Structure 1
Amino acid sequence: MARLRTAWVLLPTAALMLAGCVAAGIPYNGPHLSPTECRDLAALKTNAPPTMAEHQSELAALRKAGYDPSPWYDDPYYPDDLQAAQRLVDYWFQTECQQAQRR
């Protein structure tokens, strides 16, 4: 029983440490966009009629970039937060997806 209590005490501490690493900007060395997201984002750039799957991939990429489509109608940071996330997704697309296509 004492071990279980200790585990529950350490869980919030571990979560805070992980959040601190993310907030501190520790670099992430893996790709940010999946191959499916790269494909769908490329398709969206062609101005062809978008599919629901392409929209979902775009939203998933924007969420990875920090955009949170809030259910509240009075988001004081909109559209700045969306535009910042879009710039980051565009950067990832240029650096990650273009390199994957060259290989």
Structure 2
Amino acid sequence: MSRLLTNWSTLFAVTMLVAGCVAPVMPYTGPHLTPTECRDLAALRTNAPPTMAQHQSELGALRKAGYDPSPWYDPYYPDDLQAAQRLVDYWFQTECQRPQSG
């Protein structure tokens, strides 16, 4: 039994090593927000009544920024939510805002 466990452990370690060499993790360089998220985040910044879809887009953007609303107890709340909101605001300003012509 221990020999089988050793073989599986070795196989797993080799697989992880090869996978790391073949497909290195590259930093993401594209836009963080989709056009739908940009549209919905812009709509949420107005005084119009928000829709459920707009709230879902906002939550999706916050999750991309690292916020996880699922823990029962989050010792970092509200700091982690506010940090994600700042990051989403930055993405919104840099990726969604069209330059003003004039």
What's the TM-score once normalised by structure 2's chain length? 0.73
Structure holding more helix per residue: 1
Structure 1 unaligned blocks of 5 or more: none
The sequence identity of aligned pairs, in percent, is 76
Residue 77 of structure 2 corresponds to residue 97 of structure 1: no
Residue 19 of structure 2 corresponds to residue 41 of structure 1: no
- How many residues align? The count is 89
CA–CA separation in structure 2 for the residues paired with 1:77 and 1:62: 15
- How far is the alpha carbon of 1:99 from its aligned partner? 3.8
Shift >2 Å, 4+ stretches: 11-15, 99-102
Superposition map of 1:1-103 within 5 A: 9=12, 10-11=15-16, 14=19, 21=25, 27-72=27-72, 74-99=73-98
Bigger radius of gyration among the two:
2
- How far is the alpha carbon of 1:91 from its aligned partner? 0.1
Structure 2 unaligned blocks of 5 or more: 1-7
What's the TM-score once normalised by structure 1's chain length? 0.72
CA–CA separation in structure 2 for the residues paired with 1:34 and 1:101: 21
The root-mean-square deviation of aligned C-alpha atoms, in Å, is 3.1
- How far is the alpha carbon of 1:48 from its aligned partner? 1.1
